[in-house]
Structure 1
Amino acid sequence: MKKMKLVVGVILLTLIGCTPLEKKQSEEERILLPTVSREAYDVTISTMSEGQFIPQTDIIHTGQNVAIAENAVTEVKLNGIDQVNIAKKQVRNKLAYNGSSTTPFTGSFAAVVGVHKHYLEEYKDGKLNGYKIWYSEAGRVGMREPYVDGVRNGVQETYYRNNGKIRSKITYSGGRVSGLMSWYDTKGNMIYQEDFKGGNGEWIAYWDNGQVREKGRLANGLANGEWRYFTQKGELEKVTIFRNGSPTSQEWHK
């Protein structure tokens, strides 16, 4: 019931042009919103396949930001590269196009709210090639993740919103977590590291205050078994059971 109310709330608030919690949260808090259900995401900005595991972070809820970007950039050139309002993106046969164009898109789709860029995707020949980048309202990068031919490959990096220092580095191969994952405190000191050889190992993510945010195990790069999620105070919030990256059951404790 809690999950259903959250999804409905996101849809209604998107329609009226504001983001969830906007009236209750400070400007800084709205930069990094809490985890929401998968159904609440604006899937038009993603090339993820059904059931693909997405590590939950509190960087930026892109679906909400993109949904209100009605007055974002139209079409400009930045260093000779096309930059287009993401609202004009169309996906046909798994390739991205600029509106009704018949040529697969090369350039960047961007979401800009007011004078602030919130989100960017880089394409070549209709496929994600380059980065997806999420920004704070102050223009600071919150998360950057690399793509090759539409699939996450390389090191995803997240940053602390208050000082811009590195927060985490997570290695992907073929769209799945594989290789080193490292988390750092606000001073730049490493607090946790795991090497997901073959995509297998224990996943731990942290809040800005150093408390554990979520904990579970990956098998072949996908979430499997019991995953526990905690509040910033360290209280157990929910337990989700995954099978090959897809949730099969969920129990709320808060």
Structure 2
Amino acid sequence: MSTALSVNLNKIAVLRNSRGGREPDLLHAARVCLDAGAHGITVHPRPDARHVRADDVLALAALTREYGVEFNIEGNPFAPPREGYPGFHALCAQARPAQATLVPDGDAQLTSDHGFDFRRDAETLRPLVAALKASGCRVSLFADPGADIARAAAIGADRIELYTGPYAEAFAAGAAADRLPAYARTARDARQAGLGVNAGHDLNQANLAAFLAGVPGVDEVSIGHALIGEALYDGLETTVKRYLALVSG
């Protein structure tokens, strides 16, 4: 089976916000990715609006519907609303993404750096998962390798997203083989529990193929930081097509 590629556009918004105005244009970047064959678009709006904003989310929701592809919104479901940010559930209710990916990140984190502790968080997550599913979203939960997958399944999640930051670090150090078995076991546990498996964080053209070979059956990868960085050298369309070749199996 091939793996779907969802392109995370947060870094395009970071570049735009650093100068103000509309350039680079987020919707233009999304169209280039989708015209190149990407299977979907991911964004991770934060309450502090450091990159993708609520208005971007709604515009991208309309664009992905136009293209007939999946839209994935990531975020912390526990973060309270504030000016310019209606809250994760409210934003999903407005945008109606195909998938909502719940991530335990806070404002102080530069980027997502760990999955949920399902032993601690499962019952708090349960009503949030149910509400998102009731609004039509597939729900994915950010998870570390070795996480208590049975609890994620028990609260109604549809998928997990494996946090691949530690794998990427190990790959760069020449030690990927030490990390992959834990990811493979967690993915196998998820499938046995009836969950789909996504993956993301620090995946790139160098390490992606080895990850997919070592962790069979990954439904979707969400890639942004590396893809946008590589596109600065080689162009966005070319870079998306190179990733598509890697996930096509």
Structure-1-length-normalised TM-score = 0.28
Q: Give the helix-richer structure, 1 or 2.
A: 2
Bigger CA radius of gyration = 1
- The structure whose residues are more often strand, as a share, is 1
